Amino acid sequence: MAAPSEGKRRAKGFEAASGLLKNRVRSAGESRGFAVSRLLTHWPEVVGEDIAAMALPVKIVYGHGGFGATLTVLTTGAMAPLLQMKLPGIKDRVNACYGYNAISRIAITQTAPTGFAEGQVAFGPAPKAATPPPDPGIQAAARTLSGEINDPTLRAALEALGEKVLSRSGTKKG
């Protein structure tokens, strides 16, 4: 039996998960500009539970010499004004995590916190629901109301309007 090489010797027993993931978390954090991975892994502890429920750190862009960095946080549109009021406190807490005034500005990005695989917030008009076919009695009543109009385009528009008005008034009574 050959003895394992000294450089690749493995410890006996279980290893802590933090030890296995430490390098991966650090490299993922550094790719987004987070020199201190503690900011990502302990975000609720750094900024507080109330702010962590409203916002997530996305990236840090450093200025010249490591000073004057901009932290970008992600929030939903409704929470942005509340988060804007708390920016000075967030900046102080994040700088305390770094140990010096690394962050000089915080930018807020408003969007949904889901990725492409989980689905997106719809930014267009809402899809139209299927409308039930109009009642033939309502159609006939609308046709008789607009029967004296000679212009076919105007008559069709008035018939459609009459159908909508008569169908609404019919549902309110019932």
Whether residue 115 has pLDDT greater than 60: no
Question: Given the DSSP bridges, would you call strands 69-75 and 103-110 parallel, antiparallel or unpaired?
Answer: parallel
Report how far residue 174's alpha carbon sits from residue 168's, in angstroms, rounded to the nearest whole number: 10
**Spelled out in words, what is the top-level CATH class assigned to the domain 19-110?**
alpha beta
Q: What is the DSSP string of 127-143?
A: PPPPPPPPPHHHHHHHH
Residues present in the chain in total: 174
Report how far residue 50's alpha carbon sits from residue 141's, in angstroms, rounded to the nearest whole number: 58
In this prediction, residue 89 carries a pLDDT of 94
Least confident segment among 26-30, 55-59, 138-142, 166-170:
26-30
User: At 108, is the secondary structure helix, strand, or coil?
Assistant: strand
Report how far residue 46's alpha carbon sits from residue 97's, in angstroms, rounded to the nearest whole number: 7
Residue range(s) occupied by CATH 3.30.300 in the chain: 19-110
In this prediction, residue 120 carries a pLDDT of 46
Query: What is the model's pTM?
Result: 0.48
Confidence of residue 95 (pLDDT cuts 50, 70, 90): confident
As a whole number, the mean pLDDT across the chain is 74
Confidence of residue 90 (pLDDT cuts 50, 70, 90): very high
User: At 158, is the secondary structure helix, strand, or coil?
Assistant: helix
The 10 Å Cβ neighbour count of residue 78 is 9
For residue 130, report the phi and psi dihedrals to the nearest 5 degrees.
Answer: -70, 125
Residue with the larger pLDDT of the pair 109 and 6: 109
Whether residue 31 has pLDDT greater than 60: no
Burial of 142 (0-12, 13-18, 19+ CB in 10 A): buried
Whether residue 91 has pLDDT greater than 70: yes
